[in-house]
Chain A
Amino acid sequence: MINASLKQLGDTLRAKKISSVELTQLYLDRIAALNPGLNAFITVRPEISLAQASEADIRIAAGKADTLTGIPIAQKDIFCAKNWRTTCGSKMLENFVSPYDAHIIGQFNRAGAVNLGKTNMDEFAMGSSNETSYFGPVKNPWDRNAVPGGSSGGSACAVAARLCAAATGTDTGGSIRQPAALCGLSGLKPTYGVCSRYGMIAFASSLDQAGPMGRSAEDIALLLNVMAGFDERDSTSLQREKEDYARDLAKPLNGLRIGLPKEFFAEGLSGDVAQAVEVAIAGYKKLGATVVEITLPNSSLSVPVYYVLAPAEASSNLSRFDGVRYGYRTPEYSDLADMYEKSRAQGFGTEVKRRIMIGTYVLSHGYYDAYYLKAQKIRRLIAQDFTEAFKQCDVIMGPTSPSTAFKLGEKGDDPVQMYLSDIYTIAVNLAGLPGMSIPCGFGANDMPVGLQIIGNYFDEARMLNVAHQYQLATDWHSRSPQGI
């Protein structure tokens, strides 16, 4: 059961060979046994999950099941879920019980899926290793001394350790794709605007996107079908015709043109990752694709541009956390300013405060033009590079992460070291393009390597097809960590 695809699980449930309550209990038992050693989940509410499962069973019995009805899905703790504690990995929201559902949560509820619990994450989605969470770091199931990646580290760990059928994540600078790569999963960040951000705790509003994480392209296509769609409560949500993202999975890849950016295969890329990716590209050629070298000349500026824009937007978004209406309030204060300053200093962790500081600085009088506006302009150049590149190719590929999973604590006290690990994923968020990572082999120390697939705007169905065909010809995505 734990290695079944979502389609197989759905079929099994609808054939009544297993009930949703039994399936949910199976995962809850696994979580009870394995989560203490992995710390993938922050909140588990068996009674709520099982109640949802019961309702799903009734719906299945009535013949009204949809694709995901009865299937237990883990939710990143960034999505507000009514009556669920929603912490965003922070002390600031340690006791915040959400009074409403995020749009994404509502979509899963309407589909009849079961909320299996809230997964651990870097605090306020700021991090690439899941080491900044107030609730402790998440361990990589492939090596418990290694990071799972971040910020959706808990979701990635939960899927890899088979603690759920699939999970949701969010991606602002790579936070779905990089943990997917480091944990051997498939994860997708859709085109900006495809998934509603209503109820998704905001980090950087022009970059944040929700997306699916699972063990195969086929699985995440089914999740994306439930997650995507217009929501009038999100002013950046796009009104488009409904799509079936699984519609093109079976298409052969003959004639597919794959662009390989020379900047993604240069200095900084670990040899073992480069090798696994090269073998994967050779595999694609065997499936009928051709390869063309492309260039993204401004991509080297992605990291500096991102570390101006994202903190700037974060400093604005996190100003709402002031201890007045919800969240942490410091127990002792002399006046209002003192209450604000202490609540925020005590409620936020180091990385969050660092980014708020950067953001406040780059938006302040005298620096706005030189930093924020400048970064916005370079952002356009970066987006234009991709538009140019897509004239010569259908999809772009490269490594997702410059190395396999590093050890917990390895990146130490130098934030810049951590920031540089986002080097291949960030440009995709800046341009608003869809990006995916799928497993393509193993590197040093037998740790998973991820292949990144970048598509043109709204080309998710083709990207999923490209991923699925590779997964029919290989089995990297079906491997599981030892002891799982």
Chain B
Amino acid sequence: MPINNTDVQKVARLARLAMNQTEIETARSQLSGIFTLIAEMQAVDTANIAPMSHAQDVSQRLREDIVTESDQRELFQAIAPQVEQGLYLVPQVIE
């Protein structure tokens, strides 16, 4: 599956990774190599095979819908880049 610079730019945007033109070109050529590797998969017939996401045949464990955690906001926010009055600060989003 050939990949071009526009594809790389789109993916970088989706992944929220800033990239300049040189980086995009390097990424394009390295990703092409990797996609050649993974193209080998297409040769296999998987018509009636179910996808496997977990080694064991288990389903999601459920629990009682009760509060079990305590409020540790101060502890967790102590390591945040910018907080004020219990809120995480980011650049303005809504005009």
Residues of A within 8 A of B (CB): 96-97, 99, 191-193, 206, 232, 235-236, 238, 298, 300-301, 303-305, 307-308, 315, 319, 322-326, 329, 333-342, 344-345, 348, 353-354, 356-358, 360-362, 364, 367, 370-371, 373-381, 383, 413-416, 419, 431-433, 457
Residues of B within 8 A of A (CB): 1, 3, 7-8, 11-12, 14-19, 27, 30-31, 33-34, 37-42, 44, 46, 49-56, 58, 60-61, 63, 72, 75-82, 88, 90-93
| A298 CA / B49 CA spacing, docked (Å) | 14
B40 touches A379 (CB 8 A): no
Offer 25 A-B interface pairs, CB within 8 angstroms, sorted by A. Answer: A193-B55, A232-B63, A235-B60, A298-B44, A305-B41, A324-B80, A326-B81, A333-B91, A341-B17, A345-B19, A353-B17, A356-B15, A361-B3, A361-B7, A361-B11, A374-B41, A374-B46, A375-B41, A377-B46, A377-B49, A381-B44, A383-B52, A383-B55, A416-B33, A457-B56
A323 touches B81 (CB 8 A): yes
A457 touches B55 (CB 8 A): yes
B41 touches A354 (CB 8 A): no
Smallest CB-CB separation from A236: which chain B residue?
B54
Smallest distance from the beta carbon of A127 to chain B beta carbons, Å? 15
Smallest CB-CB separation from B56: which chain A residue?
A193
The interface residues of chain B lying within 8 Å CB-to-CB of A323 are 81
B41 touches A432 (CB 8 A): no
| A308 CA / B36 CA spacing, docked (Å) | 12
**Given A99-B75, A300-B40; 8 other pairs, CB 8 A cutoff:** A193-B56, A325-B80, A325-B88, A341-B17, A356-B17, A367-B1, A377-B50, A415-B34
B88 touches A360 (CB 8 A): no
Smallest CB-CB separation from A352: which chain B residue?
B17
| A434 CA / B77 CA spacing, docked (Å) | 38
Partner of A206, one of B34, B54, B76: B54
Partner of B52, one of A301, A307, A337, A377: A377
Smallest distance from the beta carbon of A173 to chain B beta carbons, Å? 14
Smallest distance from the beta carbon of B33 to chain A beta carbons, Å? 5
Q: A323-B81, A360-B11 are in contact. Are A337 and B16 (CB under 8 A)?
A: yes
B17 touches A373 (CB 8 A): no
The interface residues of chain B lying within 8 Å CB-to-CB of A307 are 34, 37-38
- Across the A-B interface, give the 8 residue pairs with the lowest CB-CB distance, nearest first: A432-B55, A376-B51, A380-B52, A341-B18, A377-B46, A345-B18, A329-B81, A340-B16
Partner of A308, one of B41, B60, B88, B92: B41
The interface residues of chain A lying within 8 Å CB-to-CB of B12 are 357
The interface residues of chain B lying within 8 Å CB-to-CB of A305 are 41
| A415 CA / B37 CA spacing, docked (Å) | 11
B31 touches A354 (CB 8 A): yes
Partner of A301, one of B31, B41, B51: B41
| A311 CA / B49 CA spacing, docked (Å) | 22
